């Protein structure tokens, strides 16, 4: 076995009404005046009240930034950092999906180095100081950002998604309250859920995998696939929502240590250049990337090992390792078909308005994405083009 390190220091508070523990979590970290970072939609839908009510009941003063867009950028990160500094805040609450949590990570990182422009901090392990206390409250079950060392931020000028990785970026506390995700519509539930599934699958096949990330990935795949269709069919099913949130968090802890691969390299590039939402990009690309890998002999046998987590009831007796790999690929295509047929989720790039002319630039940028470093095979432009054309 290769030597490895595993890092997951986040305190996890999970379950119905767990947001009532927010004041205690702030007190534990001596936070007197947090900055709540969220988006306008969550305020409009009344979801932000689940966080502001306990703060007000406990007489904790706070400042709010509620303008994080779905595809946050370096400018937003710097604006949030300025608001934090101007108001002399001393802790962070990120309430939202990946864009909100990653924006908050960026702003917290900028503050930790004296308010430097976040654009200058790109790369791995560039942060030397601890972030101020950071509480992440996800409202989608997908990115796992509440426990990961990654922040992905758009550079709108370069039309690229920039990946920042540092153990300093791992939030101190994650609060998973199913009430926050129960109004998420089926299409968004499905695509963000497939993002989480992709984290677990890519972590299991990454060159940086280890026995702990493997164990987490296997469990995450099982719990996500068992609950995703249920949460889409019954958005208010709090058990399914809680399980999905746990699955997403566990997949996050797995890939935060093992990292991701080709699906994310291509997906970041599609996000930066064609503005395809991250989860949707994952859903579109996942089976095609796996088909490519299997047909070229990459990760032989590993995908098959995931089958009993993805489909625990399937009889696999008599199947060879190669049969299982192919069956895993078939099952992933079937999952996409199901969400396409049931909820009208687009499963081709052309349905989302991407043109053939867009593909070469996407392929070129994917080659240089940070996720490409952890993929077994080199992601050349030819490899990327062949996958993108298949997903077109
Ligand atoms: Fe992802």
Per-residue pLDDT reduced to its tens digit, 51-105? 999 999 999 999 999 999 988 899 999 999 999 999 999 999 999 999 999 999 9
Flag whether 6 is in a domain. Answer: no
- 152 domain residue, yes or no: yes
pLDDT at position 182 is 87
Domain containing 343 equals 186-390
Q: In this structure, what CATH number is given to the domain that contains residue 250? A: 1.20.1090.10
- Provide the pLDDT confidence category of residue 209 given band limits of 50, 70 and 90: very high
Does any domain span residue 5? no
How far is ligand 1, taken at its centre, from the CA of residue 244, in Å? 15
pLDDT tens, residue by residue, 180-197: 988 899 999 999 999 999
pLDDT in tens, 252-306: 999 999 999 999 999 999 999 999 999 999 999 999 999 999 999 999 999 999 9
Q: How far is the CA of 25 from the centre of ligand 1 (A)?
A: 27
Q: Pick from 180, 209, 237: which residue ends a domain?
A: 180
Q: Do 133 and 259 reside in the same domain of the chain?
A: no
Which of 145, 180, 215 finishes a domain? 180
Residue at 149 is within a domain: yes
Considering the domain architecture, whether residues 270 and 148 belong to the same structural domain is answered as no
- How would you class 97 by CB atoms within 10 Å of its CB: exposed for 0-12, middle for 13-18, buried for 19 or more? buried
pLDDT band at residue 12 under the 50/70/90 scheme: very high
Find the 199 Cα to ligand 1 centroid distance in Å: 6
- For residue 376, the model assigns a pLDDT of 81
**For position 120, what pLDDT does the model report?**
82
The answer to whether residues 62 and 136 belong to one domain is yes
Q: Find the mean pLDDT for residues 237-245.
A: 96
Total domains present in the chain: 2
> Rounded mean pLDDT of 237-252?
97
- Evaluate if residue 124 carries a pLDDT over 70: no
What's the CA-to-centroid distance between 348 and ligand 1, angstroms? Answer: 18
Q: Residue 311 pLDDT > 70, yes or no? A: yes
Looking at the structure, tell me whether residues 41 and 145 fall in a common domain. Answer: yes
Residues 137, 237 within the same domain: no
Same domain, 249 and 364: yes
Residues 235 and 381 in one domain: yes
Q: Is the pLDDT confidence value at 31 over 70? A: yes
375: pLDDT confidence band, cut at 50, 70 and 90? confident
Starting from the edge strand earliest in sequence, which strands make up the sheet with 123-124, in order? 123-124, 160-165, 150-155
Q: What is the distance in A from the centroid of ligand 1 to the CA of 264?
A: 6
Which of 180, 204, 230 is the C-terminal boundary of a domain?
Answer: 180
Instruction: Return the closest-CA partner of residue 70 out of 40, 107, 35.
Output: 40
Q: Is residue 359 part of a domain?
A: yes
Q: Which of 136-140, 214-218, 264-268, 377-381 is the least confident region?
A: 377-381
Cα-Cα-Cα-Cα torsion 10, 15, 18, 24, nearest 10 degrees, comes to: -40
The answer to whether residues 17 and 158 belong to one domain is yes
Say if residue 51 is in the same domain as residue 198.
no
Distance 265 CA to ligand 1 centre (A): 10
48: CATH:
3.40.50.1970
Kindly give the distance from the C-alpha atom of residue 195 to the centroid of ligand 1, in angstroms, as a whole number. Answer: 5
One domain, residues 219 and 263: yes
C-alpha 195/C-alpha 57 separation (Å) is 36
Q: Does the residue 86 lie in any domain? A: yes
Report CA(73)–ligand 1 centroid distance (Å): 17
Q: Which long-range contacts (CB under 8 A, 24 or more apart) does 85-88 make?
A: 85/111, 85/115, 87/33, 87/35, 87/63, 88/33
Q: What is the pLDDT of residue 123?
A: 65
Where is 164: in which H helix or E strand?
strand 160-165
Nearest to 325 by CA among 358, 278, 293, 283: 293
The answer to whether residue 320 is domain-embedded is yes
pLDDT at 290: 96
User: 160 and 211 in one domain?
Assistant: no
**Kind plus residue range of the DSSP H or E element containing 161:** strand 160-165
Q: Is residue 178 exposed (0-12), middle (13-18) or buried (19+ Cβ within 10 Å)?
A: buried
Q: Is residue 268 part of a domain?
A: yes
Together in a domain, 23 and 71? yes
- d(C-alpha 151, C-alpha 122), whole Å: 10
CA of 260 to the centre of ligand 1 (A): 8
Q: What pLDDT is stored for residue 116 in this prediction?
A: 82
* Distance from Cα 202 to the centre of ligand 1, integer Å: 10
Q: How far is the CA of 85 from the centre of ligand 1 (A)?
A: 30
């Amino acid at each position: 076995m290769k030597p490895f390190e595993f890092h997951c220091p986040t305190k996890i508070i999970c379950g119905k009404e767990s947001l009532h523990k927010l004041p205690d979590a702030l007190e534990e970290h001596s936070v007197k005046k947090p900055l709540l970072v969220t988006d306008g939609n969550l305020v409009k839908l009344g979801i932000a009240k689940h966080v502001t009510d306990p703060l007000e009941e406990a007489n904790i003063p706070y400042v709010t930034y509620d303008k994080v867009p779905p595809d946050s950028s370096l400018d937003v990160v710097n604006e949030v950092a300025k608001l934090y500094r101007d108001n002399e805040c001393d802790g962070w609450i990120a309430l939202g999906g990946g864009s909100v949590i990653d924006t908050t990570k960026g702003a917290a990182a900028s503050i930790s180095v004296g308010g430097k422009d976040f654009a200058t901090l790109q790369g791995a392990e560039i942060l030397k100081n601890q972030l101020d206390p950071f509480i992440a409250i996800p409202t989608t079950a997908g990115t796992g950002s509440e426990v990961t060392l990654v922040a992905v931020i758009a550079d709108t000028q370069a039309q690229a998604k920039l990946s920042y990785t540092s153990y300093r970026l791992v939030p101190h506390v994650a609060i998973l309250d199913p009430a926050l995700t129960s109004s998420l519509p089926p299409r968004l539930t499905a695509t963000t859920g497939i993002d989480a599934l992709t984290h677990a699958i890519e972590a299991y096949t990454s060159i940086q995998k280890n026995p702990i990330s493997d164990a987490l990935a296997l469990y995450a795949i099982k719990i996500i696939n068992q609950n995703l269709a249920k949460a889409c069919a019954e958005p208010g099913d709090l058990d399914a929502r809680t399980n999905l949130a746990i699955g997403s968090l566990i997949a996050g802890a797995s890939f935060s240590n093992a990292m991701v691969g080709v699906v994310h390299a291509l997906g970041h590039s599609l996000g930066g250049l064609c503005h395809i939402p991250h989860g949707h990009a994952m859903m579109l690309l996942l089976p095609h990337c796996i088909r490519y890998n299997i047909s070229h002999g990459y990760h032989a046998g590993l995908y098959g090992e995931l089958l009993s987590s993805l489909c625990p009831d399937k009889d696999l007796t008599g199947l060879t390792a190669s049969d299982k790999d192919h069956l895993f690929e078939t099952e992933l295509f079937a999952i996409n078909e199901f969400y396409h047929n049931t909820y009208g989720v687009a499963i081709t790039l052309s349905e989302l308005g991407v043109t053939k002319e867009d593909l070469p630039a996407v392929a070129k940028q994917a080659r240089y994405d940070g996720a490409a470093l952890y993929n077994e095979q080199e992601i050349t432009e030819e490899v990327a083009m062949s996958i993108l054309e298949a997903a077109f």
